[in-house]
Amino acid sequence: MPAVDDLYPHPLIAREGWPFIGIAVTIALAVGWFVGWGWSMPLWLIALFVLQFFRDPARTPPAGANLVISPADGRIVSVERVQDPYLKRDALRLSVFMNVFNVHSNRSPIEGSVRDVWYNAGAFLNAALDKASLANERNALWIRADGGADVTCVQVAGLIARRILCYTQPGAHLRTGQRFGFIRFGSRVDVYLPPDARPRARVGDKVQGGFTVLAELQPGTS
């Protein structure tokens, strides 16, 4: 199993949040210095909220062949048989909804090679809604697992989210739990698996990205 340092080249507070944290702290300091520290208290609370939003803890994925790990922190809002709109096949979809108090780093659910990446502009509906999977702004990764299975991992913007960040590209090789992206301020991640994959998470379960097992792939599937 890879060492945490190999999977986690980022600081405890995600770099994506540094500008926002700096602005929030600077405004709170300025108001406290020039107006009064009592008046700055709400601004310090906002700064603390921004700080917790961009936390990015290291995670060690569990060992085991054919395991599909959650790509994000949050709550399972969907486990169902659907059509994978990207690979045009029957699939098992598991959807993770992230609220503003969850970690928003996105991690690879499997080890494999990135075959393609698709970006689609769209709306900004509540990401907990099922129709958000196809209506909202989204970025999809097609990952072929080292064991041969095809997995589609889709970052979906939410009601408040306005920025999907993806740092990988076709040809890259991702390890299980490796950080590949970030979504700012509330969102969703869908994982489309081969239809014979066995789900190990249920609707309502709370999951941790890079750690919680969502499903198990059957050997030799695609």
Q: Would you name the residues annotated as active-site residues?
A: 187
Counting beta carbons within 10 angstroms of the beta carbon of residue 64, is it exposed (0 to 12), middle (13 to 18) or buried (19 or more)? exposed
Q: Where are the beta strands (DSSP E) in the chain?
A: 67-69, 74-84, 89-98, 105-107, 112-120, 138-145, 150-157, 164-166, 173-174, 179-183, 187-193, 198-199, 206-207, 213-216
Alpha carbon distance, N-terminus to C-terminus of the chain: 23
